[in-house]
Amino acid sequence: GAVVSQHPSWVICKSGTSVKIECRSLDFQATTMFWYRQFPKQSLMLMATSNEGSKATYEQGVEKDKFLINHASLTLSTLTVTSAHPEDSSFYICSASQGAGELFFGEGSRLTVL
Amino acid sequence: AQSVSQHNHHVILSEAASLELGCNYSYGGTVNLFWYVQYPGQHLQLLLKYFSGDPLVKGIKGFEAEFIKSKFSFNLRKPSVQWSDTAEYFCAVMVDSSYKLIFGSGTRLLVRP
């Protein structure tokens, strides 16, 4: 199946700093990618829909100025957590569609803010 | 708003026992339905999906699910579980072919040898 890769897989940062997470579709082009957040022992919550060449669409309650999403090419979307705080610590997961309604998920990126 | 409910948060079974995990969704329009599995330390993998046609869908590793439209349900089943099925299982709904997935809260399955 199609492969989606995230980098870094884990990151630790100080409070107040910004962190960038990359999501790449390795063997297919993805016009749309999705970013999810997963808290411990909870489900995945959709944060935003990332569209290549246009602004991301954020879900209700997600701060667009805090979670900056850029979809610069058909194979890369980035999520930047700006001025991170401990409550932003979470597992961030991206997914991409190859078409036919199926999504492929990245391995996830665990963010810990000290 | 659309939502997905998984009734069993934790399930513990012995090997060879039968499994059924419940999933209900709330949406009156067209839906595509999915079950994903997340093994410990790994990323989400697709078990099976339903788009249209036969409401009984067979997936990988002996799993199957039945879409019952009148009950808004898509329960996952396996006749005989193995220790290697220990994982977390997520039901998800895609509405109106939007590619946007709404996930249930997940069910943690522990299979004892």
Per residue in A50-89, pLDDT (tens digit) is 888 888 999 999 999 999 999 888 899 999 999 999 999 9
pLDDT, tens digit, 9 for 90 and up, residues B39-87? 988 878 889 999 889 999 999 999 999 999 999 999 999 999 999 999 9
Using pLDDT thresholds of 50, 70 and 90, give the confidence band for residue A42: confident
Is pLDDT larger for residue B23 or for residue A28? B23
* Cβ <8 Å between B106 and A42: yes
Indicate if the pLDDT at residue A102 is higher than 70.
yes
Per-residue confidence (pLDDT) for residue A112, from 0 to 100: 95
* Cβ <8 Å between A44 and B103: yes
Per-residue confidence (pLDDT) for residue B27, from 0 to 100: 85
- Computed over every residue of chain A, the mean pLDDT equals 90
Q: Kindly list the distances between the CA atom of residue A43 and the CA atoms of A30, A31, B60, in Å, as whole numbers in the listed order.
A: 24, 25, 22
User: Taking residues B21-31, what's their average pLDDT?
Assistant: 90
B44 in A contact zone (CB under 8 Å) = yes
Burial A7-23 (b: 16+ CB within 10 A, else e): eeeebebeeeeebebbb
Indicate if the pLDDT at residue A99 is higher than 80.
no
Per-residue confidence (pLDDT) for residue B86, from 0 to 100: 97
Q: What residues contact residue A61 under an 8 Å CB cut-off, 6+ apart? A: none
Choose from B4, B32, B43, B46 for mutation: most chain A CBs within 10 A.
B43
Residue type, A38: Q
